[in-house]
Structure 1
């Protein structure tokens, strides 16, 4: 069991993450830079006002953070729709799931379809999906106890933890083998999935995984193209590429879900109207505005077409994605 000091620190870290949240998308790459700047400013001001009346209640602050992230998503969909498949948008959605325990799928344009125009060099949405499945596998594994032997139960619980860590890391290595693992959040995943080494010692998981089958413990395959659960002794070579967006600012030629669409979270339904192209620094390509509806990643790409030429601005993801939510860590604590 983690100490109370570490537990409090994890909660505080989640609150700090919410307070410092940002989209990591700069207005100059947006379809309508002015509208995006204004929208983000309004969302930030509203969230600060919400947090100010929380009087230090961390649950209240996290609730304000959920609303803030939803506003940020709407800002991107409205005036920066040409970046909805970018690495930066992937990071925004990852942060949303990290810091908002009420977040549920679907969310607009995520995960991105394969080979999406202007998409990220590594489909971080697919990676996060796999990590979320690893968390679900752990929760199922740790609660499915049939042994009455304390020793056997302890060994099996250790195997559950090793499989969870392995599933997340294996997903990263298999989904984006050419990408630097830390750019996909591997270091952060290793720290949080092992609860900073206090629950699971990843270095000793090799012998554990030799004895236990992760699929037999209820874990799904780590990725869509591989069922291999790697251990510390047989991880593939690290990739060498950083994250980058695969197309120019105007690679996406039209709002992926049309000019108007709706999406929902908890009891709130949002109607989003996309702005026309107003970025004077980047030449617009021909853009249609066919109607659309709820935007999951795959469905949203149905009418999008990739164009040659256009702007060549390269975007870099400025920070490492942190995959495991603080409240997810706390949920794991309850199960121990």
Structure 2
């Protein structure tokens, strides 16, 4: 389950601008960033074409959500065409998070929720991300900070106060809940580069939004403060354990793609994808070349030690696509009609966007 509330999608850029406009501070990146997303081109079915297509989308310098959304949509089309063998990878899944969160900012409330192609990745999908970004997205607080701030204001006796006043207890709850959620989802991944560095910089270490806190102070701040009672339904009970300078866990891994490779398009060589503003016809590139390139892949593990690579099943397709395949995938779980039946309505992604309710 991806969508939990209305579109609160991940408004990182807007949040950053609101919180740090007067400081002009460069915040750490998160998995929901839209600009200059990382993508490894060399492993794509058509690597040169993918890199050229990706870099041709010149939207990163524009402070316009519509332009950014269309640019990300074009990059998704690049990937679906030229990097179809990595649709379950960390790179592609991160691109979907950014696309959906950005488009949610320009879509009207009466427009249908987005259906995202190949999201989420099925269990044990070939070349899937070692960190389940769908599950991670669901395991992070949505509008908990705004609920906490409202309750604290009410407890102070100033529920209608519009001034930005410090809420260090809520800030510590937020950091602790994010840390617990990230750890519980991806135990081997360093939560810092995923999201936690951003939370610390924006809500703990800086004071441009009324924060006068530090992680060293959080244990005492939360000693008599119940995060769950103040709106943190997700990992609120764990927040006080994780809101501290010395982490309970010290995972240092970065995510990677696992479970082998895809050798043929899951949806067939040609299919249509319904985006939020258009219906796109996708034709997978270099299908024959990719099959030749990976013909020697064998074994039961992703790396057998002798250079061979496993070809695990792709799992079922989820997303808003209509298969018109001219060559059905050998790793697909069914024909186009079955793919349509497997559509998964990927509604608004939660991410950090819930924070905007409190801050924008």
Q: Same fold (TM over 0.5)?
A: yes
Where structure 1 has 5 or more consecutive residues not aligned to the other structure, the ranges are: 52-57, 296-302, 306-322
Q: Per the alignment, in what secondary structure is the counterpart of residue 280 of structure 2?
A: strand
Q: Gaps spanning 5+ residues in structure 2: where?
A: 1-15, 108-112, 298-310, 322-330, 334-350
Q: 1:238 and 2:250 equivalent?
A: yes
Distance in 2 of aligned mates of 1:98 and 1:215:
26
Counterpart of 1:21 (choices 19, 36, 54) is 36
Cα distance change, pair 8–25 in 1 and its aligned pair in 2 (3 A): farther
State the Cα deviation string for residues 61-102 of structure 1 (Å, max 9, x = none): x43222111111121122212112212223334444676644
TM superposition shift of 1:171: 1.2
Cα displacement string for residues 2-56 of structure 1 (whole angstroms, at most 9, x for unaligned residues)? 9999315559989xx9895245231x31123354244324433xx48xx6xxxxx
Structure 2 equivalent of residue 315 of structure 1: none
In structure 2, the partner of 1:55 is: none
1:183 Cα shift?
Answer: 3.7
Q: Secondary structure at the match of 1:64?
A: helix
1:118, CA displacement in angstroms? 0.7
Contact 1:252 1:304 in 2 (8 A): no
**2:293 corresponding residue in structure 1:** 282
Distance (whole Å) between structure 2 residues aligned to residue 274 and residue 294 of structure 1: 16
2:148 aligns with one of 136, 141, 146: 141
Equivalent of 2:68 in 65, 76, 83: 65
Aligned CA-pair RMSD: 4.3
CA deviations over 1:216-273 (Å, ceiling 9, x no partner): 2222324xxx96333216742211323221144xx124434454242333xx133242
Partner of 2:231: 218
Of residues 99, 117, 126, the one that matches 2:135 is 126
User: Matches of 2:317 and 2:142 in 1, distance apart?
Assistant: 37
Q: Give 1:1-336 correspondences, 5 Å limit.
A: 6-8=20-22, 21-26=36-41, 28-44=42-58, 47=59, 59-60=63-64, 62-96=65-99, 101-102=105-106, 106-131=115-140, 134-144=141-151, 146-147=154-155, 149=157, 157-194=167-204, 196-198=206-208, 199-200=210-211, 201-203=213-215, 204-222=217-235, 228-229=238-239, 230-232=242-244, 235-248=247-260, 251-258=261-268, 259-265=270-276, 268-276=277-285, 277-279=287-289, 282-283=293-294, 294=320, 304=332, 324=352, 332-334=358-360
C-alpha distance in 2 between matches for 1:10 and 1:324: 20
Distance 1:213 1:108, change over 3 A: farther
Give aligned pairs, total.
Answer: 282
| Conservation of the 8 A alpha-carbon contact between 2:172 and 2:218 | yes
Closer, same or farther: CA 5–207 of 1 in aligned 2, 3 Å? closer
Q: Is the 8 A contact 1:262 1:294 kept in 2?
A: yes
Q: Which has the higher helix share?
A: 1
Shift of 1:292: 7.6
**What secondary structure does 1:273 align onto?**
strand
Q: Which deviates more, 227-236 or 68-77? A: 227-236
3-state SS in 1 of match to 2:143: helix
- DSSP-derived class of the 1:207 partner: helix
